[in-house]
Amino acid sequence: MVSTRRETSHLPSAGYDEHSLDDFLNNTDAIIIFPNPWTMEIEKASRGAAEFYGWPQEEIVGKKISDAGLLDEASIKENFQKVLSSQQGRFFLKCRTADGKIADMEVFADFLPQGERSLLCLVMYDITEKKRSEDKLRILSLEITRIEERERKRFASYLHDEVGQNLAMIKMKLEAISYSSPGPLSGNEFAPVYDLIDRTIEQTRSMIFDLSPPLLYRFGLSSALRDEGEKICRENGIAFVFTGEEIPSMPDDERILVFRCAQELMRNCVRHARASRMELSLWNEGSRMVLRLVDDGIGFDVAGLDKSTTCRSFGLFSVRERIRGIGGALTIESRIGEGSHIDLIVPID
């Protein structure tokens, strides 16, 4: 298993013996326990863990994890199995603290060798305040999206009801004048004007659809993404492939936010990737939605993305921050000359 710095930052260095480990645990404020993954009994625990759960340090050893106040034992067992099979070394759970409150915990798991066997070590961090901040950020992000969409709809309605109808009326009046006027005003003199009005009407309709896509509200995210991808790629001469399923349990605000982020990713692709083909996929994966964009373009250096000041990096940064605001994530894989692979992941109920 690959350990992170944070996992090992509170642990003694390699080559420790049992005595040095016990000495370390007796003197650290870090929340560390060593559970038996099969019996769920705690074999060792730090002073910080004992204080956190409200048990004397000598009494916490031998108790089951559920006795120590950790909730959802079935879920913990499932995570232990993933750790044993080296599928993950990090998970989240809820704990009951010494004062009876419920805390959100981030857990890093790894095995430490001790003689002929290895001990399962859990280093835990109380992220309750961080979760609260993330929840506030999520609410703020959705509120910004809600306000933005309300203004988009209002402006789209204005374009449709006022500008669009006025343009149509101008064309009708010009046609009436051309038919009723004497020779100099009849014939093809108005043809260029009609063409200009028709183009303006078409541009206005296109703007209305960009501002407030009707497919998104009538038929859902999958239909709207397919239509938007086809339009963007058609206008830029790029082949487009879409595979997707509808995500019925996603709230309207989050669906709108995902659509806007996907829109930005696709536009980023046609502006900067120099791709000849773009693939977009959408599917439901358990408790999360995954949107994947793959292109065969020139690729870019992901490591230098945060330091870059280009429009492309700003667009990706904007998408990443907006998705983080609803508890999601943006993962990017790309190499120079090898295209890009971007996953937008959002938790769903």
Percent of the chain with pLDDT over 90: 20
Q: For 9-13, 205-209, 341-345, which range has the lowest pLDDT when averaged over its residues?
A: 9-13
- Cα distance between the two ends of the chain: 30
Residue 265: the pLDDT is 94
**Which one has a higher pLDDT value, 335 or 311?**
335
> Tokens 């089951």 label which residue?
64
Query: Which of 114, 89, 91, 115 has its CA nearest to residue 104?
Result: 91
Contact 269, 297 (CB under 8 A): yes
Contact 219, 259 (CB under 8 A): no
Q: Which value, to the nearest 10 degrees, does the dihedral of the CA atoms of residues 210, 212, 215, 221 take? A: 90
Label residue 5 by pLDDT band (50, 70, 90): very low
Dihedral sign, Cα of residue 84, residue 89, residue 94, residue 98? positive
Query: Is the model's pLDDT at 285 over the cut of 50?
Result: yes
Centre a 10 Å sphere on the Cβ of residue 156 and count the other Cβ atoms it contains: 19
Mean pLDDT of the region 249-259: 84
Q: Which H or E run includes 263?
A: helix 252-268
Per-residue pLDDT at 211 exceeds 80: no
Residues 266-282 pLDDT 10s: 999 999 889 999 999 99
DSSP state letter for 87: S
**Average pLDDT rounded to a whole number, residues 181-191:** 61
Distance, in Å, from the CA atom of 282 to the CA atom of 301, rounded to the nearest integer, reads 25
Query: Who wins on pLDDT, 291 or 110?
Result: 291
Radius of gyration of the chain (CA): 29
> In the 3-class helix/strand/coil scheme, how is 208-256 assigned residue by residue?
HHHHCCHHHHHCCHHHHHHHHHHHHHHHHCCEEEEEECCCCCCCHHHHH
pLDDT band of residue 7 (cuts 50, 70, 90) is very low
**Averaged pLDDT, 140-148:** 76
Residues 300 and 336 sit within 8 Å (Cβ to Cβ): yes
pLDDT bucket at 283, cuts 50 / 70 / 90: very high
pLDDT above 70: percentage of residues in the chain: 86
Whether pLDDT at 336 is above 70: yes
List 341's β-bridge partners, or say none: 294, 333
| pLDDT band with cut points at 50, 70 and 90 for residue 243 | very high
Alpha-carbon distance of 236 to 238, in angstroms, equals 6
Position 279 scores a pLDDT of 96
Lowest mean pLDDT among 27-31, 101-105, 182-186, 231-235: 182-186
Lowest-pLDDT choice from 128-132, 168-172, 296-300: 168-172
Which segment, 53-67, 209-223, 235-249, 318-332, is predicted with the most confidence on average?
Answer: 235-249
